[in-house]
Structure 1
Amino acid sequence: MAGLLQTIRYSLFLRLLAIFSVTVLMFFIIISVSIQTVTRDSAAIETIPDFFARNVESIIEDIGTPPNLSNAMRLAAELDWSINIRNPIMRWSSDGDNRLNLDDTTFVRSLADDAEIRSSDSEDMIVVRRDGYDFYLYQRSLDENAANLAVLYIGLALAGFVLFVNYFMVNRLLDPVRMLRRGAERIRRGDLSYRVHNDRQDELGALTDSINHMADSLQSMLEAKRQLLLAISHELRTPLTKAKLRLEFMPDSIEKQKLREDIDEIDHLIGDLIEAERLNDEHTALSAEPVQLAEFVESVVDQYFSYEGGLEIVLPSEDREFVIDKLRIRLLLTNLLNNAIRHGRDKPLRVEVIFHEGSASLVVQDNGEGIGPEHIDQVCEPFYRADSSRQRNTGGFGLGLYLCRLIAQAHGGSLEIDSELGKGTRISIRLMQRPPQISAEDA
């Protein structure tokens, strides 16, 4: 028995099955008892018990003719019946008001020469006519109807209570599922350091442990990948520096120029990789300082006014001070503008600074080729490109937007992309007025 209880406590399916079974059983009992009670009371009202039919003579003799009304009242109270007595000059009722219409009855059967059972409104009564008096005897039903309703209400209340307990127990069982869903969502968004709290010793506890172990494995694999990539990037710097040095001793030629461009591109890629890994490190500090944000953005955008397609910059009427890492925000804007020029098809670009309460949006919009909806969610991933080719003239290596997102997140902000294929792309960077890590250090 102990083993069975342990199995039930561990198995979510068996516990839900037990709750469902108990709920069905309780409903069956409540409904059965209510129906039986109501049916029994209804049957008692609609038919005359044999005891009264057999003893109607003694009842009438106790009342007497002429009737002793005190005896009639006492018998009505003892038998819990209504007694009505009538003759041409009197109408008396033990209950004050008649529940049944005594003037409209239907014959059912005879009990004696002067006694019969008649029916009114589908309910039987005993009628005795003796010595000029008519005696009407029938069961009281005030209490029966009220009792029937009470039984139904109590049954409904019990059913509601059972449902409430059932809801509470199932909701409590499913609380860990909701916690797991929230944890899985945070891990899916990239928060691999998050672990779902677990103090259960059942199937959900085992599932929670599996999810936490999965997050451990993912974090370990990604960290190993980061370290390998960072190590390779650093190691490439030495031969790249040697290649640059040797390049300077080569005579000028078209081949030398192409080689220099290739080396610069590799150098830029390595720089982006190292910067991305630094930003991925939660211990990396920003070199933040207060600046007038709109003025700073304008100083960066000024370098691109030679763009042939035309460049428009929209700034707020009043500037605000933001605490930012100038070098990294400059890198962010440079990447966004280079992307916009590369894919803008020589059409106008628009840069806008929008201030909000405690934050700002930096918006770069082009009217170029746009990004397909199937690529929107992936373009900020490292090395992902909507165009799978790796040619210089089609857009580099797919690190630009990834780096922009990391810089925005390091400043407590976010990167959002709104694009329509063939019509252009709008990228909005949300920056906090003071990055969270700076605020924490001040506190």
Structure 2
Amino acid sequence: MNRHSLFFKLNLFFLFTVAALIAFFVMTVREFEAQELHLIEKKVLHDEAEIRKIILEEVGDPEKRFKARGYRVIEYPETIKSDLKQIFRHPPSSFPLIVSERILDGRLKIYRDSDNLYFELIGPDHSTMIASPMDVYRPKWIPFLFGSMMAILILLYWTMLRSLKPLKTLAEQIRRFGEGNMDVSTKSEKRDEIAFVANQFDAAAKKIRAMKEARTLFMRNIMHELKTPITKGKLSVALMNGGEEEEVLRRAFERMEQLIQEMAEVEMITSQSLDLNPDVCDLKTMVNDVSTLLFIENDRRVQFVCHPCKVIADCKTLTIVIKNLIDNGLKYSPDNSVEICCKKGVIQVINKGEPLPKNFEEIIEPFAKGEPNHSEDSFGLGLYIVKSILDAHGAELDYRYEGGRHIFSIRGLKPAK
């Protein structure tokens, strides 16, 4: 169990409180028992002295003398002995020596039940048992109080568990929302704090869904509206007779078309939350597909410097990752070539070049540019798309600059057997 969980802390608090309540009850009972024992010790000493005095008087009938002093002679002690509890088998230090000796040598035995003390006087010929009424205060409120407090504690514990139970449902809905499932609802009709949080999250989720739908509609409309004039513009440029103006227009339309393509990839990633279909992906096959997409005819531009490998991933989106990394390497490499390597499931795309002018964390942000002299060839969405796709796979993009080479490493993909 998670030690930081509220349920773990609640259970721990309940167990600690129950243990403390039981300990308090036991200590209270023992305190009353100790007080009762002290009172019984005093009564035993008093009654034992009185009984000896009555016996020594030797005037009149002994039974009547005992009765006159509040004592009672038991005619048939053997009939009740089995129901009595013998006490002070080992005399306490508070007893006088004469009493202790009589107890130890068996001439005096002391018993008790809930209402009386019994003194068995054992002689050489016969035994006599004298009963003395005992009025000891035994508070009945202690077990009642203990039972009431335990019942209240259990009721509070059960009530709190019921109140906190919606937290698990809320956490599960938030997890699903975080994984991209926008069709979640946490609306609650209750009035406690958890219901307030659930309703606030439900309102926020609805607002995010509405904003996402509006953004998706806006992006798609923009891309749709831009495609038609760009296509017409490219056709018009193709009919021109050449010259510097034609080249400027052609590059402008190509850049706009490239931007729309990259925006379409970003839209696919963010709007659909990448519905991944994991499969065995062969790196060599993906590189061949990328070479076809990028019109790379010279095999020397993309070279394997170690054996290709296979990983478990969504092959379609992973191909986009490889394409963007290779395209990025070709653009920024002075020899217009990249190297591919795969070791233990870690895919590396390597190219020569000068150190990055910015931190890697800044480069992977959308619309960031790697090198100023190549800014006109890129809109800075390539690495952002790579990172977004890898995040959806639970993988990461690592970067280091070593020996005049940029090394981009894809870590966290499961190697295929």
The answer, yes or no, to whether TM exceeds 0.5 is yes
Contact 1:312 1:350 in 2 (8 A): yes
Contact 2:237 2:250 in 1 (8 A): yes
TM-score, normalised on structure 2?
0.59
Matching residue within 210, 214, 220 for 2:204 = 214
CA–CA distance in structure 2, aligned partners of residues 375 and 265 of structure 1 = 22
What does residue 440 of structure 1 align with?
none
Cα distance 1:54–1:217, how it changes in 2: closer, same or farther (>3 A)? same
Contact 1:63 1:72 in 2 (8 A): no
Alignment of 1:367-406 (within 5 A): 369=355, 372=359, 374-375=361-362, 379=364, 383-385=366-368, 392-393=374-375, 396-404=378-386
Q: Encode CA deviations 1:380-436: one digit per residue, 9 max, x unaligned.
A: x7x35376x998538722332454567779xx9555212347764313585999xxx
CA–CA distance in structure 1, aligned partners of residues 79 and 369 of structure 2 = 99
Cα distance 1:403–1:78, how it changes in 2: closer, same or farther (>3 A)? closer
Alignment of 1:123-162 (within 5 A): 126-127=99-100
Alignment of 1:31-430 (within 5 A): 32-46=24-38, 48-57=40-49, 59-60=51-52, 80-82=85-87, 98-100=89-91, 117-118=95-96, 126-127=99-100, 169-188=159-178, 190-196=180-186, 198=188, 200-278=190-268, 282=272, 293-300=282-289, 303=296, 305-307=299-301, 312=305, 314-316=307-309, 325=316, 331-342=320-331, 349-352=338-341, 363-365=348-350, 369=355, 372=359, 374-375=361-362, 379=364, 383-385=366-368, 392-393=374-375, 396-404=378-386, 413=393, 415-420=395-400, 424-428=407-411, 430=413
Percent identity reads: 18
CA–CA distance in structure 1, aligned partners of residues 313 and 86 of structure 2 = 91
Cα distance 1:219–1:394, how it changes in 2: closer, same or farther (>3 A)? same
Cα distance 1:385–1:313, how it changes in 2: closer, same or farther (>3 A)? farther
Contact 1:415 1:427 in 2 (8 A): yes
Cα distance 1:331–1:254, how it changes in 2: closer, same or farther (>3 A)? farther
Shift in Å, 1:128: 7.9
CA–CA distance in structure 2, aligned partners of residues 270 and 403 of structure 1 = 14
CA–CA distance in structure 1, aligned partners of residues 411 and 100 of structure 2 = 94
Name the aligned partner's letter for residue 96 of structure 2: R
Contact 2:394 2:412 in 1 (8 A): yes
Shift in Å, 1:340: 3.1
Contact 2:313 2:413 in 1 (8 A): no
What does residue 118 of structure 2 align with?
none
CA–CA distance in structure 1, aligned partners of residues 83 and 285 of structure 2 = 101
CA–CA distance in structure 2, aligned partners of residues 292 and 27 of structure 1 = 58
Shift in Å, 1:337: 0.7
Structure 2: runs of 5 or more not aligned? 1-8, 59-74, 113-144
Name the aligned partner's letter for residue 336 of structure 1: L
Contact 1:340 1:366 in 2 (8 A): yes
The SS at the match of 2:305 is: strand
TM-score, normalised on structure 1?
0.56
Contact 2:332 2:374 in 1 (8 A): no
CA–CA distance in structure 2, aligned partners of residues 188 and 283 of structure 1 = 10
Q: Bigger CA drift: 50-59 or 332-341? A: 50-59
Contact 1:413 1:432 in 2 (8 A): no
Structure 1: runs of 5 or more not aligned? 1-15, 84-97, 109-116, 120-124, 141-154, 434-443
| Aligned length in residues | 347
The SS at the match of 1:314 is: coil
Contact 1:349 1:366 in 2 (8 A): yes
CA–CA distance in structure 1, aligned partners of residues 213 and 163 of structure 2 = 35
What does residue 439 of structure 1 align with?
none
Contact 2:351 2:407 in 1 (8 A): yes
Contact 1:82 1:138 in 2 (8 A): yes
What does residue 6 of structure 1 align with?
none
Shift in Å, 1:224: 0.6
Contact 2:313 2:393 in 1 (8 A): no
Contact 1:247 1:260 in 2 (8 A): yes
Contact 2:399 2:409 in 1 (8 A): yes
Q: Encode CA deviations 1:152-200: one digit per residue, 9 max, x unaligned.
A: xxx9999999877766554443332343344334434544333347564
Name the aligned partner's letter for residue 305 of structure 2: E
Name the aligned partner's letter for residue 53 of structure 1: L
